Each structure stands twice: as C-alpha cells, then as structure tokens.
Structure 1
Amino acid sequence: MSKPAPIYVIDRKTGEQFEEAVLGEKWIRWAYQNSNSSFLEKILFRSSFISKLMGAWYSSPLSKGKIAPTIAELSIDESEFLDSTDSYATFNDFFIRHLKDDARPYSDKAEDIVSPADGRTLVFPKLDENTFVPVKGFPFSIKTMLPGVYERFTNGALAIVRLCPADYHRYHFPCAGTITDTRDIEGALHSVNPIALGAGPDVFGDNKRTYTMIETENAGTMCFIEVGAFGVGSIVNTKTNGTVAKMEEKGYFKFGGSTVVVVFEPGKIEFSEDLVKNSAAGKETLLKVGETLARVVG
C-alpha cells in the first residue's frame, strides 16, 4: 500500500510550508478511505454518543495527566497561557484556556476584518452562486449549510478556519456589529480534516452547527458559523445577543477538531492577497486570531 499523501499548510508568518501532524490519522483514513468502513463511519460520526463519551472523560479529573504529553507532542507555546499549566484541573480546562491579553495583537482599523480563530484557513473570494470547493471534485453549498438564510449570500465571499487540537480554541468576532439572529442545527459529527473532506461527506451541510447573523458596522451582513466535529463535546457561545466589538470573545469549542466559517454578502469585502493566492493553489494558511483576514471594500 502506498504511503498516504501528507497534508501541507503554509505558515503565514514565515511563508514556509510544513506538514501537519494529524492526531488519530490512521483512524480517520480507515473510517473515510476504507471501502469496508461504512458501518464504522455511521456509528462514530452520525451518532453523538462516542463524542459525548469522550467529552465527559476530557472534562473529568482523570484526563489531567494527558495535558503535559499533548503540549509536548504538539509543541504548544505555554508562554501564551494566561494561567499556569498546573492550574488546569481537567484536559478540557486546558483545551479552552484563555491567553494573555497581548498574545493575539490585531488591527483596530474599522476597515480591517480579522481572523476569528487560530487555524488553517481557506478563502473563497466569490462563491459560484452558492457553491464552494475546498477539495477538488467535492463541492459544498451554503444552501445546505444555511437553510433559510443562504439567499442573501449568493455569489458572496466565504472563509473556512479549521482548528486542530494544538490550537487556541476560543473564537472571536472579526469585526464590530450587532447580532440579529442565531440558530442551532443538530447533525452529524464528521471530522473536518481534509482527509474527511476529500472523501465526500457534506461536512458543512450535515454536521452539527450554529450560525449567527451579524449586522456589521462596515461590511454588511455577515454570517458566523461554528461547525462541530468528531470528539467535540460542545459548541459554547458566550456572547449571543446585542452589540459586539472586534476581537470580543464569541465562544469556544470543547475538545476535538472543529471549524469556524464566516460568510459575507457579495461585494462587501476583499480577502488578503496571500490567502487568495494560497487558497487558489489548494493550500491552507495558518493564521492566528486577530491577524488580518480581509478588508472592507469602499
């Protein structure tokens, strides 16, 4: 059997390409790329039982011993932590950690839209009506992702920020505005890893997710979507109504892989040039929350 193709990501700060370390890669490939694994896929990813069981364990004191090995394995920078590593009572306490105030600087210019999360980012400057294609040959649609509200975003712009276990798992508002609506949608818990995306499940239209409509100050209406994934105990939104400020915390994901998607109306924003270039080449770009994602047009 040939060696699986590695997943490469571009580090925005250095411009260098690196190979992503995938926790549980063998199991993800077995579930999504093995022709005999359909039953396993159904049990693991279309039922929340396993993820809830994992979430309960990671929220128990029994999981504390996993913190130090995870930090070492994933080379996580402890100097960014607001609290000391030994202060976390459970793995989920560590996973949803707060960072020091100066750990994620950002532009306060009103025209700058910033990344809502730490993660590997793909951008789509203009949707093909309602369609976007993160992996060649497998199109996804905002019609299934955003039932009932997708029409206003037809031919709009979309960004996907994919979080991995190594990342800071709190997410923030990319610009100022006012929350006008929010909705929770139950669904499956497929992995959001590119291995799974390339296998064909409708991750964005099938997975558990929450969307929030925000009337922004300068960029029209934006939709902010949290997509749950395998191993995610829950999506927890800490700000659900009223006015919001740029970089104000919106919420957090408990343990597991997960994704944030932001969608804009057509003609409102332009994504940063490097993100457009890398995405066109099929490469994700590693961003930190607060780094510039786009700018308002006009």
Structure 2
Amino acid sequence: MTPDLHYYDRQKAELAEEKVLGGFFMRLAYGCPAGKLLHWPLFARAFFSQLLGYCADRRMSRRRISGTVKDLNIDMSEVIVPEGGFASFNDFFIRRLKAGARPLAAEKEALVSPADCRILVYPKLEEGSCIPVKGSSFSVGELLGQPGAELAEEFSGGSLCVCRLCPADYHRYHFPADGELRRSWRLKGKYHSVHPMALWSGLRVFAQNLRQVNMLELENFGLSAFIEVGAFGVGSIRESFGGGKFRKGEEKGYFAFGGSTIIMVFKAGSIVFDADLLAKSAENIECLVRMGEQIARKA
C-alpha cells in the first residue's frame, strides 16, 4: 500500500503534502522489494547513521543549508542564527528558536506538545494490544523493553500519542508539563526511518529502533512514559536535561541529523486529548502541531 503523505496543519486548518528530504532513497529503500537488501547494511547497525552524522558535522556540509531551507520551506525568521552563521549542517539541524517563537499553553491542566511534530493520538489502550501506526504496530511492553516490562500493565486502558518529527522541523524536544524524572534507560536497536514510507513497509520500527525510555511523574497527569526513538540519519539521541524536577516547556534533549519520534504513554483516566486531534487520528491523518501547543487536558 502506498502511504498517504498528507497531514493536517492545525494552525492553518488545511491539509498539506509533506515534502520528503531524500525521497528517492526513501522510495528505493522501502518502496520496492530490492530495497530490502539495503536494510541490514544501512539500518541494522549504527555505523551508517554515525557516518552520516559525522559528515553533517563537517564544515563543508554548510553548503547544504540554503538548499534545504528552500526545499523544505523552513521559516528562518524564528531561528537564532549564530554570529558568522552555522558551523555545519548539523549545527543548523539542531538550531534554537527565538524567545516567544513557541508560546506555551500555560494552564496547569493543559498538556502541551513536546515538539514540532506530526501527531497521532490513541485514546484507549487495551491490555497487551498492538497499536497500529501507518501500517506498523507495537505494544507498550515492546516499546518500554525489558527494564520496563513490569510497568507496561500500569498503562492498560490508558492513552498514547506518537509525535513524529521530520527533517523540516525544529529538532529540540521539551517536557509536556511540570514534573520529575523518576527513571530512565537506553535500549539498543536499529536505525530505520520513522517516515510513513518505512512504516507502511510493515517494519515494526518503534519496537525495534534505538530508544531512550523515561518514566516521568507529571503534576496533574501522574505517571507517564516519555520515549525518544532514534531513526535513520540520527547520529544520537542527545540529552540536555540532567535529572530531577522540570518545568513545562523546559528542554529535555534533541535529535541530531535525521528525523525521529517522541511517544508518550499515559495511565487510564489521566488525560483527554483535544477533539480535533481525536477526529483526525480516527481518520489516520497526522496533525501538524508546534511545541507548546495544547494537545490534551487533565481528565
């Protein structure tokens, strides 16, 4: 099945087509049978993603910035550009935004998006069930891995959202509410793309890719799992936060070159997703939201 590359832009209230960086390679790797031969050498090991990350850190990679800005229609008016320009393509990729570029929904009962992303929401998780995402699937137990196996059943009947970042997006991610980091662990894995082309190929990307799992105790929302998923081209998941208590909107970390995903899981009866996200997700349409926008409220 061919993936639908349209999403709903929440601010503009219209459907838009996603522009794919490296679209030819993506179609080759995931859209034809011969592409499966590339999966093991390119995606099963860290080497190729680390190599791409190394190249994106070189000064000569700056030549790619202007073309990428134009091709992906990136709004540079909200970006903090260092004196002398960006040192490399990766320096541009992990760019910071100007103060006020992402206003926070400040109400205590408002849960905000952790990133600029395309979001799908799932309001009810059945115990042991697999969550279908654009042709792929995973269970909460698989997502958390062995260190969190005993915690998976705590989220039975709960809710979940998948926040997919693409190369055009601001790639720093933030906490969705006030709270405290209780526990975290890193799960080794593969480096498949999280793009719908990869998901529609049937690969169980979210259950297999490199992941950083965090258990958060959120004020007003209780226990939540906050999972950072690595992807093809992401040299690493990089943590900015040192641990302990945090505030809504505080930076948690960032993804280096590539695209990736944040998955958040909540206990039953803790949140209610916004009606527009529920309606679009029921149609399997991702919604483009910006970091700091409300995506749910306290139940």
1:112 maps onto 2:110 in alignment? yes
Q: CA deviation at 1:273?
A: 0.5
Which segment is superposed worse, 270-279 or 36-45?
Answer: 36-45
Judged with a 3 Å threshold, the aligned counterparts in structure 2 of structure 1 residues 86 and 165 are, in CA distance, closer, same or farther, namely farther
Please list the CA deviations of residues 72-124 of structure 1 after superposition, one character each: whole Å capped at 9, or x if unmatched: 11111111012258521111111111101100001111100000000111000
The within-5 A match list for 1:1-298 is 6-84=4-82, 86-130=84-128, 131-136=130-135, 138-147=136-145, 148=149, 149-297=151-299
Cα shift readout 1:184-229 (whole Å, capped 9, x = no counterpart): 1110001101111111111111000101111111101011111000
SS of the residue 1:251 aligns to: strand
SS of the aligned residue for 2:34 comes to coil
Change (3 A) 1:61 1:274: same
1:38 Cα offset (Å): 2.3
* Distance in structure 2 (CA, Å) of the matches to 1:113 and 1:6: 28
In 1, Cα distance between the equivalents of 2:209 and 2:262?
12
Contact 1:210 1:225 in 2 (8 A): yes
Change (3 A) 1:85 1:54: farther
Cα-to-partner distance string for 1:245-281 (whole Å, 9 max, x where unaligned): 0000000000001001111111100001000000000
- Residue 235 of structure 2 contacts residue 257 of structure 2 at CA under 8 Å; is this kept in 1? yes
Verify the 8 A CA contact 1:192 1:258 in the aligned structure 2. Answer: yes
CA distance in structure 1 between the aligned counterparts of 2:122 and 2:116, rounded to whole angstroms: 18
1:112-140 residue CA offsets vs partner (Å, 9 max, x unmatched): 0000000111000111324211125x432
Q: How far apart are residue 6 of structure 1 and its match?
A: 4.4
For residues 64 and 27 of structure 1, what CA distance do their matches in structure 2 show? Answer: 21
Q: Which amino acid aligns with 1:43?
A: P
Task: Report how far residue 62 of structure 1 moved.
Answer: 1.4
For residues 272 and 286 of structure 2, the distance between their equivalents in structure 1, rounded to whole angstroms, comes to: 17
Partner SS, residue 57 of structure 1: helix
What CA distance in whole angstroms lies between the structure 1 residues aligned with 2:287 and 2:55?
32
Q: Which moved more, 1:195-204 or 1:52-61?
A: 195-204
Distance 1:212 1:240, change over 3 A: farther
Q: Counterpart amino acid of 1:235?
A: I
Question: 3-state SS of the aligned residue for 1:37?
Answer: helix
Tell me: CA distance 1:16–1:168, structure 2 relative to 1, closer, same or farther (3 Å): same
Task: Calculate the aligned-residue CA RMSD, in Å.
Answer: 1.5
Partners of 2:273 and 2:242 lie apart in 1 by 26
How far apart are the structure 2 equivalents of 1:173 and 1:118? 13
- Match of 1:36, SS? helix
Q: What SS does structure 1 have at the residue aligned with 2:226?
A: strand
Could you list the runs of 5+ residues in structure 2 that have no partner in the other structure? none
In 2, Cα distance between the equivalents of 1:216 and 1:91? Answer: 35
Equivalent pairs counted in the alignment come to: 294
Unaligned runs of 5+ in 1: none
Deviates more, 1:153-162 or 1:227-236: 153-162
Change (3 A) 1:85 1:228: farther
TM-score, normalized by length of structure 1? 0.95
